Amino acid sequence: MTATAAKETRAFQTEVKQLLDLMIHSLYSNKEIFLRELISNASDAADKLRFEATKDDALNEGDSDLHVYIDVDKEARTITIRDNGIGMSRDEVVNNIGTIARSGTKEFFGQLTGDQEQDAHLIGQFGVGFYSSFLIADKVTLTTRRAGLTKEHGVHWESAGDGEYELDTVEKETRGTEIVLHLREEADEYLDDYRLKSIIHKYADHIPFPIRMMGTPLPAAEGEEEKAAEIETVNQASALWTRPKSELSDEDYNNFYKHIGHDFEDPMAHLHQKLEGKYEYSLLLYLPKRAPFDLWQAESKHGVKLYVRRVFIMEASEELLPRYLRFVRGVMDTNDLPLNVSREILQKSPAMDAMKKGATKRVLGLLEDLVKNSPVTDAEIDSDVVDAEIVGEEKEESSVDYADFWSQFGNCLKEGVIEDDANRDRIAKLLRFSTTTSDDQTVSLSEYVARMQEGQDTIYFITAESLAAAKHSPHLEVFRKKGIEVVLLHDRIDEWLTSHLTEFDDKKLQSIAKGELDLSSIGENAEEDKKEHEEKAKAAEPAVEKVKEALGDKVKDVRVTDRLTESPACLVSEQFDMSSNMERILKQAGQSVPDMKPILEINPDHELIQRLAKMRSQDKINDFSSILFDQAVLAEGALPEDPAGFVRKINALLKQ
């Protein structure tokens, strides 16, 4: 190859330098993954060519035998990985290797802790790809040409991983990419053919393209010359999801997950099924053990890959599964779509609707299996909505604690309640919460209902900014007194969740901080409690009137409460008004919020309220009422409108 354009030296993007440094120091015990990553990239390049060639056969350039070739030169101490896939143009080399052009980069670096084991998982999620070369090499050269370009558009790239790389234009006769790794002194083990083949069997046996290496020379008979070694294929070279489950081990499934998920850990669980009916398709789906760092990034592209007749088409998460299941990794393969399918076709295709519907049901079934810690049987799957017949042995065993899944992906399922009307009841059974009897987010709504008091027909909940704020809310006082369990909601999404999940198992969900509270039918002496409350309310009317006059238009109303047993006052909203927590969330997000005044409820048994009822000085009444209101605001997790004024009034009260 001869240079046909001026050579240039460029600096790596800052993030690339950081990633290289982190990777080399955090993945010291996982160096062998360099081969997994480079073969994975080569396989992706072959996938892309095969797909693009369905529209333009000229891209094959007369060679449709897609493969990966690995060559070891022990004397030169190099390993060469060569593919005849789609290749790269000069701009693609700069964009794909010189920079990290993806969303979530800032969040990724922000989550690094300095703990090598924990950071290794994050690096794996982020995707080390080509940069893994530098785990074993002190110099890497890459030569590539994109299919469809002429030979003079070859690109040569070279770097020692020290912050800079050289870029040159060269002639390259064939399409595809060749990477040469110049090994570090301590990396001699990777010059052994057997070692490389064992890594390929471990990580890349499922790659659907042949991975070829030079075989061992054949022994010669006496008096004959040694026979030259022949090139051999060292992997199965078949799509793993098309193989019978009886042929596959847990290790096979786990290694395939690590390939598609770019993860260093085994998955939490997997689902492998072939479905036949009106439409035929195969699923191989995984639940990761950990949430990816960019799970909440709208631009995140990871998810399920779509294949048509084993040809990779696209990574099409939301077309294949609803967004709330975006944590699922895997593949779906069908014969019922054209190879030149586009996203527009996907969005209008009845086959895709059926596949998405069926896959969603299967994933929810897998989660139900985790809950029960027992196999999902055919009888437990709603066949009338799946519209397919399971073929073969389809039970999925699980020994995973569902709490582990919930801690990583629970809030995604809450999105499902909001977005997926058809599966809302099914998803609701998978939700887990903290309550006043258990604050570790393990209580299901079914368990709550089973523990309800005699006479209770409502599921009570409270929303707050944090678990601590929810646990210590004054609104819980009467519920603790009566022994009534309350669900503690402290994630931002819970405000939207409760606006969509209004009933469960024919029981209404009700916020204990909104509307009138009627607990008269629950517990012993209910009628006596109701009569006593009415008498106290009548006796407290003077105090109510004084506070109402003092606060004026700061509140919608002042009334006697039956929520409090220890605190003097609390704020509540009308039944269909926005909660104070929701109001804070929207304001923090820069949203305009309608001016909705709260209701102040006062506790007639509290000494402060009884003292206020006897006051005659309007100034004292005003100060006392203002302090009561601001204390109630603080108990909600917000700040008073005039914090300094609140402190002055408290100090004045303390002096008295």
Q: What is the pLDDT of residue 259?
A: 79
Quick: pLDDT tens for 566-618.
999 999 988 777 777 776 777 666 777 777 788 999 998 898 888 888 888 89
Is the residue at 435 inside a domain? no
CATH number of the domain that 293 lies in?
3.30.230.80
Q: What is the pLDDT of residue 33?
A: 80
Token pair, residue 323, equals: 């967004």
Q: What angle do CA 378, 382, 388 make, to 5 degrees?
A: 75
* Residue 537's pLDDT band (cuts 50, 70, 90): confident
**Report for 77-81, 481-485, 584-588: range of highest mean pLDDT:** 77-81
* Residue 125's pLDDT band (cuts 50, 70, 90): low
Is the residue at 525 inside a domain? no
Q: Give me the number of domains the chain comprises.
A: 4
The domain boundary residue, chosen from 183, 214, 233: 233
* Residue 95's pLDDT band (cuts 50, 70, 90): confident
Q: d(Cα 478, Cα 517) in Å, to the nearest integer? A: 10
Is the residue at 137 inside a domain? yes
Average pLDDT, the chain: 83
The domain boundary residue, chosen from 391, 426, 461: 426
Q: What is the pLDDT of residue 97?
A: 80
Q: What is the pLDDT of residue 75?
A: 94
Token pair, residue 609, equals: 């309220």
Task: Give the pLDDT mean for 312-337.
Answer: 86
CATH number of the domain that 648 lies in?
1.20.120.790
SS3 content of the chain, % helix, strand, coil (to 5): 45, 20, 35
- How far is the CA of 253 from the CAs of 59, 233, 243, 256, 261, in angstroms? 33, 21, 11, 5, 12
CATH number of the domain that 465 lies in?
3.40.50.11260
CATH number of the domain that 94 lies in?
3.30.565.10
Is the residue at 653 inside a domain? yes
Beta strands in 566-641 (DSSP E): 569-572, 599-602
User: 363 with 321: CB under 8 angstroms?
Assistant: yes
Is the residue at 2 inside a domain? no
Same domain, 196 and 223: yes
Q: Which amino acid is at 186?
A: E
Is the residue at 1 inside a domain? no
Quick: pLDDT tens for 335-351.
888 776 777 777 778 88
The domain boundary residue, chosen from 214, 233, 252: 233
Tell if the pTM clears 0.75, that is, is over it.
no
Beta strands 154-159 and 137-145 are: antiparallel
Q: What is the pLDDT of residue 4?
A: 45
Same domain, 390 and 461: no
Instruction: Decide which of 110 and 478 is more confident.
Output: 478
* Residue 376's pLDDT band (cuts 50, 70, 90): very low
Same domain, 656 and 572: yes
Same domain, 271 and 396: yes
Q: What is the pLDDT of residue 1?
A: 42
Same domain, 367 and 342: yes
Same domain, 307 and 450: no
* Residue 140's pLDDT band (cuts 50, 70, 90): very high
Q: What is the pLDDT of residue 409?
A: 94
Q: Name the residue range of residue 301's domain.
A: 240-426
Is the residue at 3 inside a domain? no
Same domain, 421 and 341: yes
Q: What is the pLDDT of residue 477?
A: 92
Token pair, residue 212, equals: 């070829």
* Residue 436's pLDDT band (cuts 50, 70, 90): very high
Quick: pLDDT tens for 217-245.
666 666 666 666 788 999 887 888 988 89
Residue 379 has pLDDT above 50, yes or no: no
What percent of the chain stands above pLDDT 70? 84
Residue 390 has pLDDT above 50, yes or no: no
Same domain, 217 and 350: no
Task: Give the pLDDT mean for 83-94.
Answer: 93
Quick: pLDDT tens for 32-58.
888 988 998 899 899 899 988 988 999
Residue 5 has pLDDT above 70, yes or no: no
Is the residue at 606 inside a domain? yes
Same domain, 310 and 343: yes
Same domain, 83 and 165: yes
Instruction: Decide which of 545 and 591 is more confident.
Output: 545
Helix (H, G, I), strand (E, B), or coil: what is residue 377?
Answer: coil
Same domain, 366 and 472: no
Same domain, 545 and 503: no
